[in-house]
Amino acid sequence: MSPTRDILLFQVGVRIFATAVQDALRIGSVKDVPADSLVVDSALGRPFSRERGIVVAGSGEDGERTLVIDQILGVQKVSDDELRPLPAFAAACLTSGAVAGFVLLDESPMPLVDLPTVVRERSSARTHPRK
C-alpha cells in the first residue's frame, strides 16, 4: 500500500483546489487582517466573498500573507498513487508556477497548488506590475 498524506481542499470562486496541509499555517476570518497582507486576486481566481482566508508563510520580509478564499471543504488523506505531476505541456502553457500537479479524487483530477508560490507570485506582481 502506498504512503498517504493529508491535503486541504478549498474553494476560490467556482473552482476547487487542493494543497498540502503543511502549506497552511492557519485558517480563519480575514476581518482583522490588514489589507496589504491579503491576497485577493491570484492565479487561482477571485473569491465571491472576502470572509475566510488561509494564512501562508511569506518569503523574506513578506511575513505572513492571507489568501482569501470562499470556503474550506475539508482535509482528506490521499495516497501517493493519487498524486500526479503537472504534464510538461501544461506547465509550459500556464502563466503561474503555482499549480504543482493534480490529485485524483474519485478518479477526477483536481489542481494541487503550492500556496507559498501563489502568495509569492501575487506579491511580486504587486511590487513589479506588468507594463
pLDDT in tens, 64-81: 999 999 999 999 999 999
User: pLDDT-based confidence at 131, cuts 50/70/90?
Assistant: very low
How many structural domains comprise the chain?
Answer: 1
Q: What is the pLDDT of residues 91-127, one digit of tens each?
A: 888 888 899 999 998 888 999 999 999 998 876 655 4
Q: What is the pTM of this model?
A: 0.87
Please give the residue range of the domain that contains residue 90.
4-125
Whether 130 maps to a domain, the answer reads: no
Q: With b meaning 16 or more CB within 10 Å and e meaning fewer, what string describes 5-24?
A: bebbbbbbeeebbbbeeebb
Half-sphere exposure of 13 (CA within 13 A, CB side): 8
> Whole-number mean pLDDT of the chain?
88
Whether 80 maps to a domain, the answer reads: yes
Task: Look up residue 92 and give its three cell numbers.
Answer: 509550459
Q: Cα separation of 26 and 8, whole Å?
A: 11
Beta strands in 13-128, from DSSP E residues, in sequence order = 15-20, 26-29, 38-39, 52-57, 64-69, 71-79, 83-85, 99-105, 108-113
φ, ψ at 108 (rounded to 5°): -110, 135
Task: Look up residue 87 and give its three cell numbers.
Answer: 504534464
Whether 29 maps to a domain, the answer reads: yes
Whether 131 maps to a domain, the answer reads: no
Residues 6+ apart with CB under 8 A from 52: 27, 28, 29, 30, 68, 69, 70, 71, 72
Whether 64 maps to a domain, the answer reads: yes
Whether 47 maps to a domain, the answer reads: yes
Examine the pLDDT at 87 and tell me if it is beyond 90: no
